[in-house]
Amino acid sequence: MSAAAMRGGGGGGGVVTTSACKRLRQLFSGVLSSSSGGGSASGGSGDLLPPILKCAGALNAYTALQAHQAGFDMIYVSGGGVALGSMGYPDLGITTLDDVLTDVRRITRVVPPTTPLLVDIDTGFGTSQFAIKRAIKDMISAGAAAVHIEDQVLAKRCGHRPNKAVVSTEEMCARISAAVEARTDPDFVIMARTDALAVEGIDSALERAKAYVDAGADAIFPEALTELEQYKAFREKLGPTVPILANMTEFGKTPLYTGEQLKTAGATLALYPLSAFRAQSRAAAEVY
C-alpha cells in the first residue's frame, strides 16, 4: 500500500494525496488572493491564513510532527538535509531518489495531509526525462504534495555556495515538461528553482523564471537572492498568480527577512530548510 493510501484512513489509493495537493493549492491561492487585494486570505476550509506561508524543514518524521504541531503551514524535505542528516554526505548531488523517498515516506505516514509536504528533488535524479518522470510518480505515490526541481547541472552544488553552473533554459524547460507530463495527480505542484542569479545575473534569472512557468511550472523558487527588490522584480515579471518561494536559510546569500518584508516584496512562501537541524546539531555537539 502506498503512503498516500495509508494516510487515507480507509480511502482509496491517491485520495489523500489529492487532498494534500489540493490543500497546498488552496494555501497558495488564499495568500495570492490576499496579496492582490482579493479580500481576506482563507485556505479554503474557513481558516485564516498568515500574511505569508511558512514552511519548516524536517530531518525526520519526529521533527516533522513537531513542526506540524507548532503550526507551520507546510513541511519540507531538503536535499541537503537528507544528504547530511540521513547519509552523512555533503550537499553535492550524491544522494539517490530512494534515499530521499525513505525520509518522505516516514514523514507522510505520520503528518496529516492538512500540512502538505514539499520535497527537494535536486535536478531530477538522472540525466534522462525518464528519470524525472519516475521521480515525480514516486513522490506522488509516497504522499508528497509538491517538489522543486532546479536548473543546475547534474553535478550540482548547494545553492548558496560558489562555482555553480546551470543548464540551458531549453534543457530546464524539458525537465519541467517531463515532470508535468508524469503527474498522476493534476493538483500535484511542480515548482521550478533557478540558480541563475549567481551565474548569469538578475535579467537572465527573470527570463528563465518566466520561461519555466510557460513550460508548465506551477511555482518559482529563485535561489540565493540578495535584495528584497529582487523578489519584487520576480513578482512583476511573473504576475500576481504564480507562487514565489523565499529561501530563508541561515548562513546563506539571502538576508533573513521577516515574513512581512517578504510578503510586501511579493513572496508567497518563506522556507526555513535547515533551521531545526542546525539547532539540533548544536545541541548534540554540546551533549556529546
Residue 90 pLDDT:
84
Residue 158 pLDDT:
64
pLDDT in tens, 56-113: 999 999 999 999 999 999 999 999 899 999 999 887 778 899 999 999 999 999 999 9
Specify the pTM.
0.89
Q: How far is CA 226 from CA 57, 114, 221, 252, in A?
A: 21, 32, 14, 9
Cite the active site residues: 76, 91, 120, 122, 148, 150, 158, 193, 223, 247
Instruction: Give the ranges where the chain is alpha helix by DSSP (H).
Output: 3-6, 15-35, 61-70, 79-81, 97-110, 129-142, 169-182, 196-200, 202-214, 228-238, 259-265, 275-287
Q: Among all chains, which residue has been given the C-alpha cell 540565493?
A: 224
Residue 15 pLDDT:
40
Nearest residue to 213 (alpha-carbon basis) of 247, 265, 176: 176
Give the whole-angstrom CA distance, residue 285 versus residue 115.
31
Residue 251 pLDDT:
87
Residue 14 pLDDT:
42
Residue 47 pLDDT:
57
Identity of the residue numbered 35: S
Whether residue 45 contacts residue 262, with contact meaning beta carbons closer than 8 Å, is answered with no
Nearest residue to 186 (alpha-carbon basis) of 9, 15, 68, 18: 18
Give the whole-angstrom CA distance, residue 243 versus residue 191.
9
Task: Tell me the average confidence (pLDDT) per consecutive run of 10 residues in the chain, 288 residues long.
Answer: 47 51 95 70 54 95 97 96 91 88 97 97 92 98 97 72 84 97 97 95 97 98 96 97 96 92 96 94 95
Give how far the C-alpha of residue 271 lies from the chain's centroid of Cα atoms, to the nearest Å: 8
And the C-alpha cell for 93? 548531488
